[in-house]
Structure 1
Amino acid sequence: MRELEEALDISLLSRTTRRVTLTEEGARYYASVVQILRFVDQAGDEARSTRGAAAGTVRISCTAALGTRHISRLIFAFQDRHPEITVDLSLTDERIDLVRDGMDIAIRLGPLADSSMKLHAIGASRRVLVGSTDYLLRHGKPATPEALANLEGIRMLNIAGSDSLALRRADGRTSIVPFGGRLRVDHGLAAREAFAAGRGIGPAHLWLVHDLLDNGQLEILLQDYELASVPLNLLIIPERAKTARVRLVVDFLISEIRKLPGIVIS
């Protein structure tokens, strides 16, 4: 690294006794090198495509709960069809920088900031208010949004505004009610476990809890009301969108994700 810095005549790393971090120049250099390597990889992919089979690695980032519950299984099915394609699946709820972190594709829930990435809108993820049958037998099933104040809530730490619920009736009227509780989590799978264990009620994506609803372990509350759905999108590094193996993964994922419980096609 010292030799590279001397050759470039810049400092790529900031070194202290406790840590080593990229300098601003180092971060820019790294991003440029990653971009160059992507072009080299794309050229190789195009050359390989002349023999008719897509091959190589596709790197995917996905929100953790969705990735664990469904996307990993879809990747298994994809690789059964395309055994020459390697998939690196990274599960995180952080909004990563695709270029900086070397990803090709990101599957993201929620609104997106302005982005230079190529975007495919998959649809919207329906949310429902749920609680376990056992919990509701012990504490009563609410008949109105205001009655939620009498129940223990399971809140998400990493979602802004989780201290209230906006519930909309079919006539368009919305009730906004406070939502609190003694347990707050930062992962959808932890919320799922809490609902199943009868620790309280809360909003959940239908794809997260559909099996627990089907077997009667959970119930949907206040079915005359709706929670706002959450946008679900797929982002692609623009330069990678033309790569054969990336196109195959993208087409497959969009088609299969739209079949998941609670995904509403826009």
Structure 2
Amino acid sequence: MDRPDVSLDRMRSFVRVAERGSLSAVASELGVGQSTITRHLRELEEAVGVPLLSRTTRRVTMTDEGSRYYADCIQILRLVEQAGDAARATRGAAAGTIRISCTAAFGVLQVSRLIFAFQDRYPDIGIDLSLTDERIDLVREGVDIALRLGPLTDSSMKLRTLGRSRRLMVASPAYLAARGRPTVPQDLTGHEGIRMTNIAGSDTLTLEGPAGERHTVPFGGRFRVDHGLAAREALAAGRGVGPAHRWLVDDLLAAGRLEAILPGYEPPPVPLSLLIVPERAGIARVRLLVDFLAERIGGIPGIETPRLERPR
């Protein structure tokens, strides 16, 4: 029987299994049966003549030969995609799918509408938007770019700093009428705080004062939550006071359902960054979306973009 050929489909299956460590996860991602992925891997190993993956009951890992072959496959698949971009550019059409990961509440309330506008401009580009507050492995999950609020530690990604997200202290009129209005940070000690469980140190609150001084006060409360949209609902329902990104509550402030409190005292702003998987940075449609988001992000309430940095 003739040895199978090395095909792009087999190569793509191998790359994703190597990254995810699971045949079933890749089968689900690619919309095929697990038997198809198994066949792709078997045929690819037969074609190259060496074992590329080591399989256990819990995980699939690369052999030494597989690691070297994986690096070459990444380069080959990137060149194939870039060649397709160049061909499509001759008729002025960007096409394909971009996979984005974004902080959940930010994605629902703000980023989704930017994506709609992007797709109106580029109708042949598909978007897969994944909303999560977890810091996922972008390569492992097959993501091209990620919008992240807060400090970053993943130095293997290309980084584009988009700006800072301003925050303020808010409460509902009903809550303030029942519990009184705090006028200085120390007044928060006797109030119900709406706290985020996925933020370290949420039992204390740091506010910057009018002269740049910092005030750190205890911040307690009976309601804690791990999602920004639930915190927004709790604040609007009068369950307590809390810090909130301006983009999270701007419409509620305009409608009078929330009020800003402690004028002159604000929580420190939070960095907003765009992470780009290095192997995807050269893809035309990815570059288009990165530039589009950088251009439009400053129109979101509370996002300050004093000076933008290029990817490094």
Map 1:44-83 → 2, pairs under 5 A = 44-83=84-123
Q: Structure 1: which 4+ aligned runs deviate by more than 6 Å?
A: none
Q: Could you tell me how far 1:48 is from its partner in structure 2?
A: 1.7
Aligned residues: 262
Contact 1:60 / 1:105 at 8 angstroms: preserved in 2?
A: yes
Could you tell me how far apart the structure 1 residues matched to 2:126 and 2:167 are?
A: 33
Give the aligned residue type for 2:55: L
Match status 1:98 vs 2:161: no
* Larger-Rg structure: 2
Match status 1:143 vs 2:183: yes
Match status 1:13 vs 2:51: no
Contact 1:31 / 1:99 at 8 angstroms: preserved in 2?
A: no
Per the alignment, residue 224 of structure 1 pairs with: 264
Worse-matched range after superposition: 31-40 or 243-252: 31-40
Could you tell me how far apart the structure 2 residues matched to 1:42 and 1:178 are?
A: 54
Other structure's SS at 1:69 match: helix
Match status 1:249 vs 2:289: yes
Compared with structure 1, are the counterparts of its residues 29 and 153 closer, same or farther at alpha carbon in structure 2 (3 Å cutoff)? Answer: farther
Compared with structure 1, are the counterparts of its residues 189 and 36 closer, same or farther at alpha carbon in structure 2 (3 Å cutoff)? Answer: farther
Give the aligned residue type for 1:256: R
- Listed one character per residue, the Cα deviations across residues 244-263 of structure 1 (whole Å, up to 9, x for unaligned) are 21121111111111110000
Unaligned runs of 5+ in 1: none
- Listed one character per residue, the Cα deviations across residues 214-261 of structure 1 (whole Å, up to 9, x for unaligned) are 111101111121210000011112232222211211111111111100
Contact 2:164 / 2:305 at 8 angstroms: preserved in 1?
A: yes
- Listed one character per residue, the Cα deviations across residues 122-148 of structure 1 (whole Å, up to 9, x for unaligned) are 100001111111111111011121111
Give the aligned residue type for 1:23: T
Other structure's SS at 2:221 match: coil
Report which structure shows greater RCO (CA 8 Å, sep ≥6).
Answer: 1
CA root-mean-square deviation: 2.3
Could you tell me how far apart the structure 2 residues matched to 1:170 and 1:10 are?
A: 61
Other structure's SS at 2:142 match: coil
Contact 1:63 / 1:107 at 8 angstroms: preserved in 2?
A: yes
Worse-matched range after superposition: 244-253 or 41-50: 41-50
- Listed one character per residue, the Cα deviations across residues 58-117 of structure 1 (whole Å, up to 9, x for unaligned) are 111111110000111111111111111111111111112222211111111111114122
TM-score, L = length of structure 2:
0.78
Compared with structure 1, are the counterparts of its residues 183 and 44 closer, same or farther at alpha carbon in structure 2 (3 Å cutoff)? Answer: same
Could you tell me how far apart the structure 2 residues matched to 1:114 and 1:56 are?
A: 27
Other structure's SS at 1:12 match: strand
Compared with structure 1, are the counterparts of its residues 159 and 29 closer, same or farther at alpha carbon in structure 2 (3 Å cutoff)? Answer: farther
Compared with structure 1, are the counterparts of its residues 192 and 38 closer, same or farther at alpha carbon in structure 2 (3 Å cutoff)? Answer: farther
Give the aligned residue type for 2:190: N
Map 1:92-171 → 2, pairs under 5 A = 92-171=132-211
Unaligned runs of 5+ in 2: 1-37, 307-312
Could you tell me how far apart the structure 2 residues matched to 1:66 and 1:186 are?
A: 14
Compared with structure 1, are the counterparts of its residues 209 and 34 closer, same or farther at alpha carbon in structure 2 (3 Å cutoff)? Answer: farther
Compared with structure 1, are the counterparts of its residues 146 and 262 closer, same or farther at alpha carbon in structure 2 (3 Å cutoff)? Answer: same
Could you tell me how far apart the structure 2 residues matched to 1:117 and 1:169 are?
A: 35
Query: Taking every aligned residue pair, what percent have the same amino acid on both sides?
Result: 60
Contact 1:48 / 1:54 at 8 angstroms: preserved in 2?
A: yes
Q: Which has the higher strand share?
A: 1
Per the alignment, residue 23 of structure 1 pairs with: 61
Could you tell me how far apart the structure 2 residues matched to 1:84 and 1:12 are?
A: 39
Compared with structure 1, are the counterparts of its residues 28 and 201 closer, same or farther at alpha carbon in structure 2 (3 Å cutoff)? Answer: farther
